[in-house]
Amino acid sequence: MCGAPTISLSQMPSDPLVIHTPRGLYCPAGDFYVDAWQGVPRNIVTHAHSDHARRGSERYLSAKEGVTVLRHRMGADASIDAIEYGGRLNLNGVQVSLHPAGHVLGSAQVRIEAGGQVWVISGDYKRQQDPTCAAFELVPCDTFITECTFGLPVFRWGDPSRVAEDINRWWMANRELSRTSILLAYSLGKAQRVLAGLDAEIGPILLHGAVHAMTQVYRESGIELPLAEHASVESANLHRGRALVIAPPSAMNSAWARKFAPFSSGIASGWMRIRGLRRRRGADRGFVLSDHVDFPALLETIEQSGAERVIATHGVTDALVRLMRERGRESYAIETQFGGEEEVDLDSPQGHVLSAVEGPEDTKGELSLALDGEEP
C-alpha cells in the first residue's frame, strides 16, 4: 500500500530546506532535526508519541503546552526548551515556529523559513475539534511534509460528539446486562479524548495504569476531565458490571482484562472504519474515532496550505501521491520511522491494511472500494 515513488529530500531539483538522513529529517541551514529517530544534538519534537519523541538527543524543543507530557516520556533529566505556539525562534538564520496540530496535547506543526522558502512539517494532526488539545492551525507554505496515516478515500470521520453518544449508549446497555465495559484507546491522547466525552452519571470510570498516569499529566497541564480512578483489583471487584474501563490496546485478551469478567470490549480507532478489522481484533464494538486527519480533510489541508510540493511520510501514501501529481503538484513519498505509537498493531498504517487484504473476502471488498474512492 506504500508503493508510491519514494525520493530522498536531498535529491529534489531545488535546494531543500529539509533533507532525509539516517537519523531523521534534518535542516542543514538551521542545524536541527525534527522528530529524529536517533539521538542528535538538537531535536524539535512535534508531539510526545513514542514514534516521534525518542530518547537520546542532547536538547529538545517543543511547544510549551506539551512540555509536561514530553518530560513524562523523556524523563526528568531530559533538556527540554519550549516556545509558545506562534513564537519565532532564529536558529542560524532560519526562522522556526511551532503551530497547533490538533493531534494530542502539545502537538505542533513545525514551520521553517529561510531563503524565500517556507516548509511545514505536520507531524501527526487532525482537523476535528478536541477539548483536550489546541485546535489545528492552518499554516501556508511552499512545501508541505504531511503524514498520510489514513491516505485512502474510505477513511472519513463522522461527528465526534455522535461517537461519544454511541460510547455512552454502549456503556449503559452493558451495565443493564451487568457487564463491565472495556474500551481500548491509546494511553496518550485518545484515552483522554474518550474520557472527556463520557457521561460520569452512568457509572464509575476506571483507568488502566498507563492511561491513569498520562491522565494525571493532562490534569497537571490544566485539562479538565471527568473523575476517574485507577483500575485496581479492588476497584474491579467493587464496580464489576457497572464501570467503564479505558485501557491501551495491548490489554486486549490479557490476564489483566480477565479480572473484569464478564465484560464487553470496544475499540476506538480510525481503523474501525474497516469493519473487518474490528472482527479480526475480536472486539465486540468498534468506534470510529481517530486523532489523525481523515482523507477529505487531508486533501483540504493541502489545498488550503497553498503548497506546490507535497511530501508524504508515514501511512498509505500511494493514493495521495498519485492524486497530487494528477492535480499538477510535485509530490513524493519518503520513508521514515514514524507510524504507530505504543500499540502499533492497531494504528500501523500498513500492518492492518495489508493484513486485511489477506483476510476475509468481505474485508477485501471494503478495501477495493476504498482504493476506488467509494464508500463501503
Q: Mind giving me the DSSP string for 254-266?
A: SHHHHTT-SEEEE
- Evaluate if residue 361 carries a pLDDT over 90: no
- Evaluate if residue 33 carries a pLDDT over 60: yes
Residues 82-139: tens digit of each pLDDT: 999 999 999 999 999 999 999 999 999 999 999 999 999 999 999 999 999 999 999 9
- Evaluate if residue 63 carries a pLDDT over 90: yes
> What is the percent of the chain where pLDDT is above 70?
86
Q: 91: how many CB neighbours lie within 10 A of its CB?
A: 17
Provide the 3-class DSSP secondary structure of residue 101.
coil
DSSP per residue, 350-368: THHHHHHHTS-HHHHHHHH
| CA gap 370, 294 in Å, rounded | 13
For 150-180, b/e burial (b = at least 16 CB within 10 A) is bbbbbbebeebeebbebbbebbeebbeeebb
| CA gap 372, 376 in Å, rounded | 10
pLDDT band (50, 70, 90) for residue 8 = low
| Average pLDDT along the chain | 88
- Evaluate if residue 54 carries a pLDDT over 50: yes
Q: Are strands 263-268 and 180-184 parallel, antiparallel or unpaired?
A: parallel
Q: Which three cell numbers stand for residue 41?
A: 544534538
What Rg do the C-alpha atoms of the chain give, in angstroms?
A: 21
> Domains in the chain, ordered, with CATH?
9-155+292-342 (3.60.15.10), 160-287 (3.40.50.10710)
Please tell me the least confidently modeled range out of 89-98, 109-118, 245-254, 292-301.
Answer: 245-254
> Quick one: pLDDT at residue 337?
85
> Quick one: pLDDT at residue 103?
97
- Evaluate if residue 265 carries a pLDDT over 70: yes
Q: 6: how many CB neighbours lie within 10 A of its CB?
A: 14
pLDDT (average), residues 252-278: 89
CA pseudo-torsion sign 276, 281, 287, 288: negative
pLDDT band (50, 70, 90) for residue 12 = low
Among all chains, which residue has been given the C-alpha cell 464496580? Answer: 239
| CA gap 356, 142 in Å, rounded | 36
26 CB burial (10 A radius; 0-12, 13-18, 19+):
buried
pLDDT (average), residues 62-70: 96
Largest CA-CA distance found in the chain, in angstroms, rounded? 65
Q: 140: how many CB neighbours lie within 10 A of its CB?
A: 12
pLDDT (average), residues 232-250: 95
Crossing angle (nearest 10°) for helices 209-220 and 67-74: 140
Provide the 3-class DSSP secondary structure of residue 71.
helix
Dihedral of CA atoms 255, 260, 264, 265 in degrees, nearest 10, equals -50
Residues 187-230: tens digit of each pLDDT: 999 999 999 999 999 999 999 999 999 999 999 999 999 999 99
Q: Which three cell numbers stand for residue 268?
A: 476506538
